[in-house]
Each structure stands twice: as C-alpha cells, then as structure tokens.
Amino acid sequence: MTAYLLRRLLFFIPTLFIITLLSFLISQSAPGDPVEQMLVGKVGGGGEQMAERQATLQAYLEKRRELGLDLPIFYFAIAPLAEPDTLHHIPQVQVQDALRRLVYKFGNWDAVQEAYHAYLRLDSAFYATAGDTTWGEKRTEARALLALLPQEKDYEELKYRLRQLEGLLIPVLRPYYSAYLQAVDALPQKSQTWKVYVPTIHWYGTHNQYHRWLVGLLRGDFGISYQDKRPIAQKLGEAVRWSLVINIISIVLAYVIAIPLGVTSAVHRGTFRDRSISLALFMLYSLPSFWVGTMSIVFLCGGDYLSIFPPGGVQSTEHSAEWPLTERVLDWAYHLILPVIVYTYGSLAFLSRQMRTALLETLQQDYIRTARAKGLPHFLVVWKHAFRNSLIPIITLLASVFPAMISGSVILETIFSIPGMGFLSYGAMVARDYPVIIAVFTIGAILTLVGILVADILYAVVDPRISYTKR
C-alpha cells in the first residue's frame, strides 16, 4: 500500500505542474496591461508636460520591473525568425501586441522598428509643442489619435488613422509626421515574409515570468489584487475559512443523511418507501442549486414575502467579537442554515442514489446469501456484512463531491453573499481583477487534487482486498 500511496503522490506533482501551467496560460491571455492596472490612480497618466510624461513612463517601467513583467514569459520560446526576442522590453502590452502583429504580417522587424521609432520622435516632438498657441482646439483630438496609433492592430486601419492625423497637426510637426508616414507606407515594400516561416527557438533559462510566478506560488505569494492593491494571499486567507467551513459541514451532513437513506431504500427495494425516496432524491438531484438559492432568497429572506431567514451574509451587522461565544455561534448558525441546506441537498441526493446502487449490488453477492442461509438476523446481514463493503464506492465519491462543491461555491456564495472564495472570485470576475481569478482557480485546483488524494488514501485504508502493487 505504501508503494501505491507513493505512486499516487508522485502523480500529484506532474498534475500540479500542469495545473500551474494552465493557470499561467489563462492569466497570460487576460486582456489589458497589468502594469497599468497596478498604477491606476497612482500616477497622473497622460499629462501635458514633458516632465510629467517622463515621470509616468519612469513609474511604469519601475513597476514593471518590480512585477517582473519585463522578463521573457517562459523558459523558452518558439518564434518566427522575424520576431525579435527583445519585444517584451517595449513598454505597454498593447503596443507590443500591435508591433508583433505587424512583424507577423511583414516579417521585417527592422522596418517595423524604424516606423515605431519615427512614431516616438513624432510623439516627443508633439509634447514639446505644448505651449504653442497655433494649436487651437485640435490639440486634444490630435493627442487622442496619436496615443492610439501604436496600439492599432490592423495595418490598413493604422494607415487610415494616420491620414486622419495629418490635418490636425501644426506645421512644425510636419517633417516628423511625414517621416512616420513614409516609414509606415514603406512596410509592404520592405516585407520579408519568408522570415515568418522560419521557426527559431530562444532559450531564456529560469529568469522568466512563469518561473518567478511559480516560485512565488510555492511561497504562498499570489501577487497583488488590482482592486485594492492588497496581497491576494491575505484576501484568500480570510475568504477560504468560510468556504471550508460551509463545505465541510455540508459534506459531513450529506454523508450522515445520505447513507441511512440509501440503505433504507436498498433494503426495502421496490416498496412504496423505496419508490418515494428514489423519486424525491431524483428530483433533488436535478434541482439546480442556484435556482433553489434564488427562490429561497426571494421567498424566505425578507423581500416582499416571508422573512424567516436573514437576507445573506454570515453574521448580523451588529455582530462583534465581544459577544459571548454561544451567541456568536448562534448568530452564525442562523445565517448559515439556509446556505448549508442549499449546498447539501445536491450531493446528498447524489450520494444516496449511489449508496442505494452499491448496497443493492452487494446484497446480490453469494456471501450475503450464505449469511442469510446460516440464519443471521436481517439487521446483522445488512449492517455488518453488506454495509461495510458497499461503503467503499461511496468514500471514493468524496473525490468528485468536493471539487463540485468548490466550483458550486462561486454561484452559491454570490447568491447568499458569503464572503468566501467563490464570492471573492465572482467579485474579481465582475471587476476584471484577473490575478484574483487566477489565484482562486489555482487554489481550487490544488484543493481538488488534495480531495482526490484523500479519497484515494481512504480507499486504500478501507479496502484491504485490493493490492496496489500491480495495476
């Protein structure tokens, strides 16, 4: 058995690795520039003065270095020959993306870079004319257009926008403008498309974003939330308590109720009792928990109908740490009754149905017939001989019940406003706070893995018949 558990643990590691890869991949595809998100409200972006702009850029670059976002993304990169491996040094993700698209289209990095530099020269010349009185009202419009140009992903669109800019500029800027225009227009002639079709491999070593993120993860550092700039680990630590409390109560409850129900159903198979239990469980199993949750909030928790239960949350507003413990627990219990019921019934129904099937199967075994034949009382046959063996598949189901509950938390915690992981995740989804979403996914995945591992270990402990050395 030890060998089996070791193997299991060994399998845990590559799976965990794949999960981190997946999380990282998803986080990479999140739109927007993380550095800008972190700087929101901190530096007055887009100022008119040269010095101000310099300061903004400086702050941007500093923050980016601090977050490690100036590093290459992964240990290695496979890229066309045309794509330079210095692209990630350019500030602003959107600009990087637009330039990369141009490189993929024309295959000539030098020409693209030339156009980009011409743009930068036009840009600084533009800001040098801040005090110029010949501008009039056009300046704001020109500035907005100018800021959008390097982020333009489509070449034709870029040319179109560039033409629009022409009429807005004052004569001083004309030479810079025509240099930029020329560089952009020259791209199709200078195209070296073949370079896109030659793959190259760059090796970066451990100095990369994924490695940094992974090492942070192992240390319990999940990064910083966009919303309130707090460490995510801290936010998760506060939230995970409530999720775990509710999930564990629900799982225990589900097992405690499901097992006798399933046994009754199986022992009285085919009778009215079995049929009614089965029907009820089937209905419960198909009832979407978010519907039941919404219904109970609308009809039972204040609102226009009954108000038997509190309308969400985990404690009343006047709840404080100074209350006596019993009172605090009662307050929590009062708030958690409804959520726990809604959390529990689904897995309860699922488990009971499985218990019934498992016991029915066991009751057909020969050794049960033997036990009956030698005159053992019904009670002993069921509970001593059959029950224990049919428990095994139920235990392994923990591996599927637990993850389902974790994912279910996102909806249910939102409905009942329980400040747990799911609610945190939902808030992050609405606010586009990507690091938090990714962190919750990673933690959820790790918890799922642990749940499966625990179920496997329990399985090995409960069932001595199975030899794990050979498979």
Partner 1 sequence: MAEVVAISHSPRARAWESFKKNKPAYYSLWIVVGLAVVALLADFIAYNKPIVASYRGQVIFPIFRDYGERLLGLRLWEPELRNMKWRQAELDWAIWPVVRYAPEELDLRNVPAVGPFGEQVIASPSERHYLGTDNLGRDLLSGLIHGTRISLTVGLVSVGISALIGIFLGALAGYFGDTSLQVSRATLWLGLLGVFVGLYYGFYIRRYALGEALGESFFSFLGSLLVSFLIAAATATVIWLPSRLLKRTTWGGERVHLWVDIAVSRVIEIMISLPTTLLIFTVAAIAKPSLFLVMAVIGLTSWTGIARFTRGEMLKVRSLDYIQAARALGYPDWRIMFLHALPNSLAPVLVSIAFGIASAILVESGLSFLGIGVPPTTVTWGSLLSAARSATGAWWLAVFPGMAIFSVVTIFNLLGEGIRDAIDPRLQER
Q: Which residues bind partner 1 (CB under 8 A)?
A: 11, 14-15, 18-19, 22, 26-27, 29-31, 78, 80, 101, 104, 153, 196-197, 199, 282-283, 285-288, 290-291, 294-295, 297-299, 303-305, 403-404, 406-408, 410-411, 414-415, 425-426, 428-430, 434, 437-438, 440-441, 444-445, 448-449, 452
**Of 26 and 392, CB closest to partner 1:** 26
Q: Which of 45, 64, 51, 43 is nearest to 124 (CA)?
A: 51
Residue 69 to residue 72: CA distance in whole angstroms: 8
**Coil vs helix vs strand at 229:** coil
Shortest Å, Cβ 121 to partner 1: 27
Residue 435 to residue 232: CA distance in whole angstroms: 8
**Of 373 and 430, CB closest to partner 1:** 430
Q: Which of 208, 196, 197, 204 is nearest to 101 (CA)?
A: 196
> Where are any strands of DSSP class E within 61-180?
76-80
Shortest Å, Cβ 199 to partner 1: 6
Shortest Å, Cβ 79 to partner 1: 9
Tokens representing 425 are: 């995740």
Region for 192 from its dihedrals, namely left if φ exceeds 0, alpha if ψ lies in -120 to 50, beta otherwise = beta
Quote the longest CA-to-CA distance of the chain.
Answer: 109
Tokens representing 213 are: 């993120």
**Of 122 and 439, CB closest to partner 1:** 439
Shortest Å, Cβ 461 to partner 1: 20
**Of 83 and 114, CB closest to partner 1:** 83
**Of 143 and 235, CB closest to partner 1:** 235
User: Residue 308 in contact with residue 341, Cβ under 8 Å?
Assistant: no
Q: Which of 183, 176, 184 is nearest to 124 (CA)?
A: 176
Contacts of residue 254, defined as CB under 8 A and 6 or more positions apart, other chains included, come to 344, 347, 348, 351, 401
**Of 176 and 350, CB closest to partner 1:** 350
Residue 355 to residue 359: CA distance in whole angstroms: 6
**Of 361 and 463, CB closest to partner 1:** 361
Contacts of residue 171, defined as CB under 8 A and 6 or more positions apart, other chains included, come to 134
Shortest Å, Cβ 382 to partner 1: 20
DSSP secondary structure string, 311-339?
A: SSSSS-TT--TTS-HHHHHHHHHHHHHHH
Helices (H), 167-231: 174-186, 209-218
Shortest Å, Cβ 202 to partner 1: 14
Helix (H) or strand (E) holding 203: strand 199-203
**Helix, strand, coil % over all residues of the chain, rounded to 5:** 70, 5, 25
Residue 184 to residue 177: CA distance in whole angstroms: 11
**Of 112 and 142, CB closest to partner 1:** 112
Cβ burial of 58 (10 Å; 0-12, 13-18, 19+) is exposed
Shortest Å, Cβ 298 to partner 1: 4
Shortest Å, Cβ 286 to partner 1: 4
**Of 31 and 41, CB closest to partner 1:** 31
Shortest Å, Cβ 101 to partner 1: 5
User: Residue 255 in contact with residue 263, Cβ under 8 Å?
Assistant: no
Shortest Å, Cβ 186 to partner 1: 22
Shortest Å, Cβ 408 to partner 1: 8
**Coil vs helix vs strand at 199:** strand
**Of 183 and 437, CB closest to partner 1:** 437
**Of 56 and 294, CB closest to partner 1:** 294
